[in-house]
Amino acid sequence: MKTVRVGFLGCGNIGCGVYGVLKEQADRIAQDEGLRFEVGPILVRDKAKKRKSDIPSALLTERPEDVTDNPDIDVVAEFMGGVEPAASLIIRALRGGRTVVTANKAALATRWNDILAAAKEGGAGLLFEASVGGAIPVIRSLTDSLQANEIRSISGIVNGTTNYILTRMADAGLSYAQALQEAQQLGYAEPDPAADVEGYDPVYKLSILATLAFRQHVPPEAIAREGITAVTASDIAAAREAGCAVKLLATAKRAGGRILAAVRPERVPVSHPLCGVKDAFNAVFIDGSACGEMMLYGRGAGDRPTASAVVSDLIRAGHGGLRLPPVHGEAEVCGGLPADGIDDE
């Protein structure tokens, strides 16, 4: 039995979810994987704050270096969200040789080169399955299952909030404003919904997916972006007339030596597997030179689906022998796709 000591940076919904799943499955993970996880210290902003989880207060700290610089810690799991201070703490932990597991697409996409350089410098592992698609094993599939393929294109519904809004507009005839309000009431959308509805969140995720798929860095600022705020009930009706649904697609494809990459509302034919992805579900559609067409579908958010991905990364970190994803320099990115939909070539 190997003991793996994990420090947390942040302990909101996801951190509490990971803590809960690790505790609930501890005996099974020990039996099946030969690993025992010990959690702590856990960085929080305010030790006195009431938490959903039964985390002992002795594990909490308000000093980041108790986690990032702690010689007793094998793995640092980051759940703070946002670019800073998360990115700086990830970089600090990696430089110190600690493997980092993160769900933070914004930090990862925005600071990709700095984070990868820190991992190389520290000889540390970096795992981020939960950063895209929640529980769906899309990162692992790109890095560990599709290596025999030249990926031709990757196209995803990777933002549950906007997919919920578009689904409700189509299925219940709601206006954009009504559907947004409903999503906010259900907790799917934030009070300030810009990160989702303006497409920033899926741009971060597409940056990560495209970088892994094409093995060249596709920075978020090179990706064309159009949100769903201008989608109207009549757009959706017209799409339906044409045998399509409107989906916020995050798509990247090869075109000669360049990568075309955009997040924008697109018409998806009902015959396409992405069309049936409803509500807050996510899916990623991949076309590879050997595998052909493939789709991975599941819950893209929520504390337990995200914990499913994070814990699989922690187990992988516990087994050791990690390799950083192969990425060779900067891609030449054209932030835009031809306008004729997802089936164009």
Near a second copy in 2-21, by CB under 8 A: 21
Nearer to a second copy, 71 or 321 (CB): 321
Owner of token pair 């005996």: 27
Question: What is the Cα–Cα distance from 345 to 343, expressed in whole angstroms?
Answer: 7
Question: Closer CB to a second copy, residue 189 or residue 274?
Answer: 274
Pick 197 or 213: Cβ nearer a second copy: 213
Q: Which residue has the tokens 């990926």?
A: 151
Which parts of 77-136 interact with a second copy (CB under 8 A)? 129, 135-136
Report the residue from 288, 331, 337, 342 that binds a second copy according to the rule CB under 8 A. Answer: 288
Nearest approach, Cβ of 213 to a second copy (angstroms)? 12
Among 141, 153, 163, 216, binds a second copy (CB under 8 A): 141
Catalytic, 49? Answer no
* Spatial CB neighbours of 345, under 8 Å, sequence gap ≥ 6: none
**Cβ-based nearer residue to a second copy, 121 or 150:** 150
Cβ(135)–Cβ(309) below 8 Å: yes
- Binder to a second copy among 140, 152, 240, 254 (CB under 8 A)? 140
> Each residue of 221-234: b (16+ CB within 10 Å) or e?
ebbbbebbbebeee
- CB hemisphere CA count around 23 (13 angstroms): 12
* Alpha carbon distances (Å) from 249 to 146, 166, 204: 22, 12, 13
Residue 146 found at the interface with a second copy (CB under 8 A): yes
Q: Is 343 in the site for a second copy (CB under 8 A)?
A: no
Identify the residue among 228, 311, 317, 342 touching a second copy (CB under 8 A). 311
Structural tokens at position 165: 């809004």
Binding residues for a second copy, rule CB under 8 A, total 52
Q: Is the dihedral of CA 60, 65, 68, 71 positive or negative?
A: negative
Residue (24 or 65) nearer to a second copy, CB: 24
Choice between 121 and 293, CB closer to a second copy: 293
Under rule CB under 8 A, which residues in 171-190 are in contact with a second copy? Answer: none
CA distance 17 to 92: 25
Encoded one letter per residue, x for contact with a second copy by CB under 8 A and - for no contact, window 291-310 reads: xxxxxxxxx--x-xx-xxx-
343/327 Cα distance (integer angstroms): 27
Least distance between a second copy and beta carbon 9 (Å)? 20
Q: What is the dihedral of CA 211, 217, 221, 222, to 10 degrees?
A: -90
When asked if residue 209 is in the footprint of a second copy (CB under 8 A), the reply is no
In whole angstroms, give the CA distance from residue 167 to residue 6: 39
Among 105, 205, 247, 253, the active-site one is: 205
When binding is defined by CB under 8 A, the residue of 2, 3, 27, 32 that contacts a second copy is: 32
Q: Do residues 225 and 196 make contact, with C-beta atoms less than 8 angstroms apart? A: no
Catalytic residues: 205
Q: Which residues of the chain form contacts with a second copy (CB under 8 A)?
A: 21-22, 25, 28-29, 31-33, 129, 135-137, 140-141, 144-150, 215, 273, 276, 288-299, 302, 304-305, 307-309, 311-312, 315-316, 319-321, 323, 326, 328
